[in-house]
Amino acid sequence: MGARGRSILVAGAIIAGLVGVEGCSTRPLRSRDGGGAGATGTGGAGASGTGCGVDGARMELIGSPLLVLDNPPVDGNLYTTLLWTGQEYLFVWRIYNGDGVLMQRIDASGQGVGGNLRVRAYENACDLAWGGSRLAAAWTREKGATTDLMFQTFDGFGRPMIDAVVLRSSPDIVIDGGVTYGPRIVSIEGGFAIAWSEGQVMVATVDPDGKLLHEPVAAGSRVSGTPELSVTAWANRIVVGFVDNRPVVPGSPGSVAFANTFTGDLTPLGDVSLDGEAQGGLAQVVATGGGFLTLWAHGALPDTRVRIAHLDPTGSDVAIGEMAPPVTGSYRYLSPAAWNRDHLVVVWDGGSAGETGLKLSRYATNGERQGASIDVPTASPATRLYVVAHDGTVGFTWSEEVAGGYTVYFQQARSCP
């Protein structure tokens, strides 16, 4: 998903005409009971849960999937993000080289609110975070022989709160269509933390007005190539996770999964090597409210397993376990796991070519599954998994592709108890 996509061919035909929002889709959102557009959603139709009345820890789906994007065939990759603001969800999407970065509001009950809102023009990778009652975006801008790392904030309707700010310029900043290689952004107290690749993995903090709080620092010095990045934060701590393709010992097999922990002022705390036989790809980091988790793929296919590391707030005390099925195989794109009060929630696809359906599961921090997984049917293979959690409720999105077109669905679930 991180690879640069192809140029769009029919953008004008699919994103024109929304009243008051130039260049956005006019297609109405379908309600979870199949209303709105007068048609029943295909992917995920019929999803159901067994209910919280069953004894033991488990998950329960809330209602039916909501169709949030129905995009006809295009010649360009789709990138999606799901955020929780404390009051509602924001689904943000863009198509490589397309019209712009677009946003759809979804209320706390899982119903769509209004139509698509255009946040800003398209410019390469763009990651987003919500914090301090505003939406923050970090992206890269090509400028001759150099690349600018950009930052801007918006309100909950996608309206700019500040002008775009150049945080840093360098010929070494990686440019890509997807955000897996950075920049990645997360909310922190008093601003935001951003991680990106610039010959090595870099981290900086910025206030809501676009002023650097602290000068950028390197998250370790061991990068071989351009790793996929993940960043999270909690209680004056920032953690960056990535897999370095450089073997631990020259000639040895495998890559290395790392988790790097910093204080809010970017003082390095922990620089932990988690696995010398990691599979190249994403190492997702998740804040738990008392520490941090890192999830990554271990070993070579077809025997790849997903490992989970529990780090204390200093990033130095680490306990490593293995995720129970169905979370196995290569780590999924882009954010399939989220912390939900006292457990981890993961949405996972089947992993085989042509296989449909998703599994929603909850886990302890040692990788032990809590209760049975829930089946979420899909009409086509599901990708682009994104999960957020709040107050015991989970919201997640996935995409399905048919003949070059994209559909994206949103589903809610709750944890029981």
pLDDT in tens, 368-397: 999 999 999 999 999 999 999 999 999 999
Radius of gyration of the chain from its Cα atoms, rounded to whole angstroms: 20
The strand pair at 382-390 and 334-335 is best described as parallel
In a domain, 8, yes or no: no
Neighbours of 262 (CB within 10 A): 24
**Predicted local confidence at residue 381, as pLDDT:** 95
Strand order in the sheet with 101-107: 78-84, 88-95, 101-107, 112-120
Q: Is the pLDDT of residue 245 over 90?
A: no
Neighbours of 236 (CB within 10 A): 13
**Predicted local confidence at residue 315, as pLDDT:** 86
| Residue 375 · residue 383 · CB < 8 Å | no
Q: For the chain, what percent of residues have pLDDT higher than 90?
A: 71
Q: Which of 21-30, 248-257, 258-267, 361-370 has the weakest average pLDDT?
A: 21-30
Question: How far apart, in whole angstroms, are the C-alpha atoms of residue 29 and residue 26?
Answer: 9
Question: How far apart, in whole angstroms, are the C-alpha atoms of residue 360 and residue 98?
Answer: 32
**Predicted local confidence at residue 13, as pLDDT:** 32
Rounded to an integer, the average pLDDT of 337-351 is 96
What 3-state DSSP class applies to 172?
A: coil
Question: How far apart, in whole angstroms, are the C-alpha atoms of residue 243 and residue 220?
Answer: 12
Q: How confident is the model at residue 398 (pLDDT cuts 50, 70, 90)?
A: very high
Q: How confident is the model at residue 202 (pLDDT cuts 50, 70, 90)?
A: very high
CA neighbor of 94 nearest in space, from 29, 158, 163, 172: 158
What 3-state DSSP class applies to 11?
A: helix
Strand ranges, E, within 178-249: 184-188, 191-197, 201-206, 212-218, 229-234, 237-244
**Predicted local confidence at residue 246, as pLDDT:** 64
In a domain, 21, yes or no: no
Question: How far apart, in whole angstroms, are the C-alpha atoms of residue 110 and residue 113?
Answer: 9
Question: How far apart, in whole angstroms, are the C-alpha atoms of residue 208 and residue 187?
Answer: 10
In a domain, 165, yes or no: yes
Neighbours of 214 (CB within 10 A): 17
**Predicted local confidence at residue 352, as pLDDT:** 79
What CATH code is carried by the domain that includes residue 299? 2.130.10.10
Q: Is the pLDDT of residue 34 over 50?
A: no
Q: Is the pLDDT of residue 351 over 80?
A: yes
Contacts of 138 by beta carbon, 8 Å cutoff, 6+ apart: 126, 127, 128, 149, 150, 151, 167, 183, 184, 185, 192, 194, 196
| Residue that the structure tokens 């200093």 belong to | 314
**Predicted local confidence at residue 221, as pLDDT:** 63
Rounded to an integer, the average pLDDT of 227-247 is 90
Q: Is the pLDDT of residue 235 over 80?
A: yes
No. of H helices and E strands in the chain?
A: 1, 29
Q: Is the pLDDT of residue 100 over 70?
A: yes
Q: Higher confidence at residue 99 or residue 364?
A: 364
**Parent domain of 157:** 77-394
The token pair that represents 176 in the structure block: 């890509």
DSSP 369: B
Q: Is the pLDDT of residue 367 over 80?
A: yes
Which backbone phi and psi does 323 adopt, to 5 degrees? -70, 135
Q: How confident is the model at residue 254 (pLDDT cuts 50, 70, 90)?
A: low
Q: How confident is the model at residue 316 (pLDDT cuts 50, 70, 90)?
A: confident
In a domain, 31, yes or no: no
| Residue 127 · residue 120 · CB < 8 Å | no
Q: How confident is the model at residue 75 (pLDDT cuts 50, 70, 90)?
A: confident
**Predicted local confidence at residue 270, as pLDDT:** 84
The token pair that represents 220 in the structure block: 């370790």
In a domain, 99, yes or no: yes
- What's the pTM value of the predicted model, to 2 decimals? 0.88
Q: How many residues does the chain have?
A: 417
| Residue 112 · residue 105 · CB < 8 Å | yes
Q: How confident is the model at residue 17 (pLDDT cuts 50, 70, 90)?
A: very low
**Predicted local confidence at residue 48, as pLDDT:** 47
**Predicted local confidence at residue 8, as pLDDT:** 25
**Predicted local confidence at residue 80, as pLDDT:** 97
CA neighbor of 271 nearest in space, from 239, 308, 303: 239
Cross-strand partners of 197:
201
- Taking the alpha carbons at both ends of the chain, their separation in whole angstroms is 35
| Residue 137 · residue 127 · CB < 8 Å | yes
Q: Is the pLDDT of residue 104 over 60?
A: yes
| Residue 175 · residue 142 · CB < 8 Å | yes
In a domain, 197, yes or no: yes
Contacts of 236 by beta carbon, 8 Å cutoff, 6+ apart: 188, 189, 263, 264
pLDDT in tens, 132-147: 999 999 999 999 899 9
Rounded to an integer, the average pLDDT of 43-57 is 54
Q: How many domains does the chain have?
A: 1
In a domain, 316, yes or no: yes
| Residue 76 · residue 5 · CB < 8 Å | yes
Q: How confident is the model at residue 18 (pLDDT cuts 50, 70, 90)?
A: very low
Question: What is the average pLDDT value for the chain, to the nearest integer?
Answer: 86
